[in-house]
Structure 1
Amino acid sequence: MNRIGWAAQAWDPSGGDEPQADYAFIRSVLDAQQGPALDIGCGTGRLLLRYLHDGFDVDGIDTSASMIEICRKQAERLGLSPNLYVQSMQQLDLPRRYNVIYIPCGSFCLVTDLNEAWETLVRVNAHLEEDGVLVFNLFWPFSDGEPLSSNPLGRQGEWGDLWAHRQLDGSLVAQHLMRLRIDRVEQLLFAKRRYQRLVDGEIVQEEVFDANERWYYKHEMLLMLEKTGFRDVQVKGNWTNEDFAEHHGSIVYVARK
């Protein structure tokens, strides 16, 4: 998602940089693989900066120049100097090869064009060293709050609350999602995402973005990975070592080149 301007600045306080379950899972892969890693969709550095601080060699890409700039400034304040690139995963073209490439936050789902999704996997494979590992997660559309569940977030065409956080200056930063349309045949969700800053209950800043996503089923993605050069694929649930099951909200793939 290409957040720009104020929305990029709001990503951290809106909860985007809070520790999450993916940190420990991906960290275990980094420990096992060693060598350079690439964070695809690094945003303002939620994972990348932590891993750099832990001593790992991690580069990052994101489509948002604003978020990359914030990440760079935060890295400088920490005495870090990562290689950061404004680039989409569909057009991945970097000078290095990596032992680990990870795509957190379900960001692969944002590649809604199926041909571009295939191209992304081809390019990721080409950027991995032999025996390198790809780690990424996809949302499960039947889990609670998701569009195909019995309890989706909000009504279609209405804003549903994602989260809200009080800031040090007393303002409130909130994020909302509106589902516009679901194409069950093409496996596409059309939606909008909204960021708001409120002071004394009044909206003082607001930005709205497209938040369209494609979902994938387990064996569909396994076939895509196989056809793009991956092997020994593990399918886990919710960034744990549990095999993926229907009650999980997130499908995690660990695939080796």
Structure 2
Amino acid sequence: MSYGKFAYVYDYLMSDVPYEEWMTFTLARLQEHQITPQKVLDLACGTGEMSCRFAKEGWSVTGVDLSEEMLMVAQEKSTKQKLSLSLYQQNMSELEGLGAYDLITIYCDSLNYITNEESIQSTFQRVYEHLDNEGLFIFDVHTPYKVNSIFMGNTFTERDDLVSFIWDCLPGEWPLSVEHDLTFFALEESGQYERFDEIHVQRTFTSERYQEWLKAVGFEVKDIYYDFYHNEAFDQAERMFFVCQKRRT
């Protein structure tokens, strides 16, 4: 899916997202596994929030996203911060030709936008092929609890002078899937508000299914974390993190 106009209000709407927690989590996992990455691949990089943070660590960072609009924002952001990012428009389930990396991430529940099981397995395979031996693959997804109990059937609203939205969460086509029906009102330079609509579909799976697919590709699942720092599942966890390592071949 492509974010369209949403790309240009994304950072404003996501200003409260705890990107620093993703960064802290990443650094902790790298330290645990005694990896100092030289090359990092940030899949579904969006507007480059994590890519820029990675680059500030002195790593060589490649960002990939399906949305041309998101990549344009990421390029503008990295230029303003005087950071060097290599940015490519690709579908991560068809990833090709980008070399090998010490660390590959798919953060901010971006994998949940892939609703087809075969495409998820293809993504894992492509990641495996782009990872150095003993390199780390880290990603996060929504828990089934979040989809069923926090999203499903609920409406969220935000009223602001610059951007307001109505966000309806509707049952998706598949089990553990949700359709996010979003209506935005964004203030234009003319002083008028422009309305635009987006539909985003997400799907998640149980931790057991993800582990099955990862192991089939050849990954060793080192750890699973819940809500960043809990290494044991609990009933109301909203996010699962998978820390995987490519076995030496």
TM-score normalised by structure 1 residue count: 0.84
Aligned counterparts, 1:38-53, within 5 A: 38-53=41-56
Tell me what 1:191 maps to: 180
Native 8 Å contact 2:152 2:171 kept in 1: no
Q: Aligned AA for 1:160?
A: F
Which residue number corresponds to residue 75 of structure 2? 72
Amino acid in structure 2 at the alignment position of 1:115: E
SS in 2 for 1:12: helix
TM-fit CA distance, 1:210: 2.1
Stretches of structure 2 lacking an aligned partner (at least 5 in a row) = none
1:110 to 90, 110, 113: 113
Among 59, 83, 108, the residue aligned to 2:62:
59
Conserved? CA contact 2:145–2:237, under 8 Å: no
Q: How many residue pairs were aligned?
A: 240
Which residue of structure 2 lines up, in the alignment, with residue 87 of structure 1? Answer: 90
Cα distance change of structure 1 residues 254 and 77 upon mapping to structure 2, 3 Å threshold: same
1:171-210 CA distance string (max 9 Å, x none): 33234422232456x43223323333258xx971232222
Indicate the larger mover: 50-59 or 187-196.
Answer: 187-196
Map of 2:162 onto structure 1: 172
Root-mean-square deviation over aligned CA pairs: 2.4
The question of whether the paired residues in 2 share the 8 Å contact of 1:106 and 1:139 is answered with: yes
Greater helix percent: which structure?
A: 2
Matched, 1:24 2:14: no
CA distance, structure 1, for counterparts of residue 132 and residue 198 of structure 2: 36
Is the aligned partner of 1:228 residue 2:217? yes
Range with bigger deviation, 90-99 or 20-29: 20-29
Identity of aligned residues (%): 22
Distance 1:155 1:241, change over 3 A: closer
For residue 233 of structure 2, the aligned residue among 219, 244, 254 is 244
Aligned to 1:209: 198
CA distance in 1, matches of 2:24, 2:165: 25
Deviations 1:222-245 (A, max 9, x none): 111100110143110111153232
Give the CA deviation at 1:58: 1.4
CA gap of 1:57–1:234, structure 2 versus 1, over 3 A, is: same
Residue of structure 1 aligned with 2:171, choices 152, 177, 181: 181
Gaps of 5+ in 1: none
